[in-house]
Amino acid sequence: MIGFYILIGAISLVSWLISKKLKDKFKKYSKVQLRNGMSGAEIAEKMLADHGLLDVKVISTPGMLTDHYNPQNKTVNLSEGVYNQRNASAAAVAAHECGHAVQHAEAYSYLTMRSQLVPIVSVTSKFSQWLVFGGLILGAASGAAGIGFYIAVAGLIFMGFATLFSFITLPVEYDASNRALAWLKNKNMVSQEELAGATDALTWAARTYLVAALGSLAMLLYWGLQILGGRD
């Protein structure tokens, strides 16, 4: 179990460092005011209109870094700071979330796969660790061939769904950022300085998803070795 705690600690530390760096980047580029004077909400509405997505609404949502696209009701939800602000960070986030709306409209394959996995992962993520821990405890009492082993394997499979979801999320997020930056550049929505800031901010945002995916994979491999490694 010592190895488990070391792994958890390492993943948590890296995740915290990336998250802190991301917040610092957004704070830095929130001071780079847009020369066109547009707010995040106006940027989003313009990008949606340019892609013919007139049925997607842009709304404000409470909190910080709570921005997201909801495919069920077709809304681009921007945090209050992004919705109202007129800086490079706001432009980057607003355009990125609209990138997801464009993906949805175009039936982007990875977004479709991720959406299909959501109901599965919402269930399996709640029980995976309980099944693994419970299975290992039962296995220690009943032996390698007992029911505990099969319960632990079921938990491992449940973990596998979460890991798969994390890796499918990567192309979804990177593609949304690429769409956002291409639109900002091609439509001359930002200056070179503003574009550089938006690019840097979105790059660090994408790294949070990369760390999450690698962390999920590391946990899956660790428990896989614990469950399967001791069998003949």
pLDDT score, position 145: 58
Q: Which two tokens stand for residue 111?
A: 């977004």
pLDDT score, position 210: 95
CA distance 225 to 232: 13
Residue 82 · residue 146 · CB < 8 Å: no
Q: Nearest 5°: CA angle at 170, between 14 and 116?
A: 125
- Residues of the chain whose pLDDT is less than 70? 1, 142-145, 230-232
Q: How many residues does the chain have?
A: 232
- Could you tell me how far CA 225 lies from the centroid of its own chain? 27
pLDDT score, position 226: 87
pLDDT score, position 206: 94
pLDDT tens digit string along 149-185? 899 999 999 999 999 999 999 999 999 999 999 999 9
Residue 185 · residue 195 · CB < 8 Å: yes
pLDDT score, position 6: 85
Q: What amino acid occupies position 31?
A: K
Q: Which residues are catalytic?
A: 97
